[in-house]
């Protein structure tokens, strides 16, 4: 659920279900780009842009869809807050992670821009670093191809 239309539809559903005067108190963006480890020298510009595009559009789409519910309606007890989660890659690049790092830098830049844009309206915007891969079925084998990986998950080759 990261396209502009699906996010907009979801926000409309929330408004309809709860109240047309609803003011959302908090919205959290916690999605990530595809985590691919490979050297920049081995990536074509076309693949780099293809993989980067959605990673920058998603936090943008999220913010555009959520903000109307935070800026209108009944004022809540607490000021509205937008939280973007990131990784250490938001602050520094690393070998083989050019696309991932660039996407995380981009999401952080969106958060920083929104901080300055929305501060005068009382909206808090933060970017927090969760520098860890959540252990799920989809991610359990991440990093297993690295020869000196510290852990090996069952079922990974």
pLDDT tens digits for range 131-143: 776 677 777 776 6
More confident residue, 36 or 5: 5
Task: List pLDDT tens digits, range 99-122.
Answer: 889 999 999 999 999 999 999 999
Residue listed under structure tokens 């991440």:
142
Sheet holding 124-129, edge to edge: 26-29, 81-86, 124-129
> What is the DSSP secondary-structure string of 75-135?
--SS--EEEEEE-GGGT---TT-HHHHHHHHHHHHHHHHHHHHHGGGT-EEEEEE--S---
* Angle value at C-alpha 31, between 29 and 33, nearest 5 degrees: 135
**Domain 23-132 part of CATH 3.40.50.720:** yes
Whether pLDDT at 149 is above 60: no
Task: Report the pLDDT value the prediction gives residue 56, as an integer from 0 to 100.
Answer: 86
pTM of the model: 0.78
Structure-block tokens of residue 128: 């927090």
Task: List pLDDT tens digits, range 14-63.
Answer: 888 887 787 888 999 987 766 778 888 888 999 888 888 888 889 999 99
């Amino acid at each position: 659920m990261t396209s502009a239309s699906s996010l907009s539809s979801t926000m409309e559903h929330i408004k309809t279900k709860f109240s047309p005067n609803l003011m959302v108190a908090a919205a959290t963006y916690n999605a990530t780009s595809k985590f691919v480890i490979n050297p920049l020298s081995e990536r074509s510009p076309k693949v780099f842009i293809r993989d980067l595009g959605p990673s920058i559009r998603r936090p943008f789409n999220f913010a555009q869809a959520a903000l109307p519910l935070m800026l209108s309606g009944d004022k809540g007890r607490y000021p509205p807050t937008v939280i973007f989660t990131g990784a250490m890659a938001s602050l520094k690049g690393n070998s083989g992670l050019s696309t991932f790092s660039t996407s995380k830098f981009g999401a952080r830049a969106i958060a920083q821009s929104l901080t300055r844009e929305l501060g005068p309206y009382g909206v808090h915007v933060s970017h927090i670093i969760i520098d860890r891969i959540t252990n799920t079925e989809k991610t359990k084998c991440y990093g297993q191809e690295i020869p000196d990986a510290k852990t090996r998950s069952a079922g990974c080759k």
